[in-house]
């Protein structure tokens, strides 16, 4: 991973600090369909509110979050960790099943050829949940 640019705007508020994160970075990924490595560029933003004090919901067993609760980070003392916002911006942006492109055809389920680069002659009549079934000639 390579961070190209990070812009963080901090604004002092009555109860803490609001932070706007804009992060430009690139990550080397492996396509979930064809297993080819590729580099993807990201330009992401995130808003967090750093609130002085302890999280009032920390000791609760069941919590019902409201829309503004997810953007809050509680802190004690005189320091805040803005690295948390940078890490969260990056982690939320990276897809769990990255694709090299939207039209990726993936690998043949029978012979394993990369269908983006070459055709295969496998004849599949029906694809089961985990295994393809070949046509009987």
Q: What is the pLDDT of residues 21-36, one digit of tens each?
A: 999 999 999 999 999 9
Cβ atoms of 58 and 76 closer than 8 Å? no
3-state secondary structure of 2: strand
Query: 40-87 pLDDT, tens per residue?
Result: 999 999 999 998 888 766 777 777 777 777 788 888 888 888 888 888
In which residue are the tokens 């990726």 written? 104
pLDDT at 97 over 90: yes
pLDDT at 128: 62
Cβ atoms of 47 and 70 closer than 8 Å? no
Domain segments of the chain: what residues? 2-104, 105-137
Whole-number CA gyration radius for the chain: 23
Collect all residues with Cβ–Cβ distance below 8 Å to 136 and sequence separation of at least 6: none
- Angle (CA) 91 35 2, round 5°: 35
Side by side, which strands form the sheet with 16-30?
Answer: 2-12, 16-30, 37-52, 72-75
Q: What percentage of the chain has pLDDT greater than the value 70?
A: 86
Q: pLDDT tier at 18 (50, 70, 90 boundaries)?
A: very high
Q: pLDDT tier at 126 (50, 70, 90 boundaries)?
A: low
pTM of the model: 0.71
> In whole angstroms, how far apart are CA 132 and each of 13, 70, 109, 124?
59, 43, 6, 7
């Amino acid at each position: 991973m390579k961070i190209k640019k990070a812009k963080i705007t901090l604004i002092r508020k009555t109860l803490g600090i609001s932070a706007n994160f804009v992060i430009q970075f690139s990550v080397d990924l492996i396509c979930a369909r064809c297993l080819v490595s590729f580099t993807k560029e990201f330009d992401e933003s995130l808003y967090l509110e750093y609130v002085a004090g302890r999280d009032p919901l920390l000791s609760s067993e069941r919590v019902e979050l409201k829309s503004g609760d997810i953007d809050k980070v509680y802190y004690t003392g005189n320091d805040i960790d803005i690295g948390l916002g940078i890490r969260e911006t990056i982690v939320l942006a990276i897809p769990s099943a990255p694709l090299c492109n939207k039209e990726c055809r993936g690998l043949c389920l029978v012979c394993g050829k990369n269908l983006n680069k070459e055709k295969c002659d496998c004849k599949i009549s029906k694809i089961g949940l985990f295994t393809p079934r070949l046509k009987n000639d």
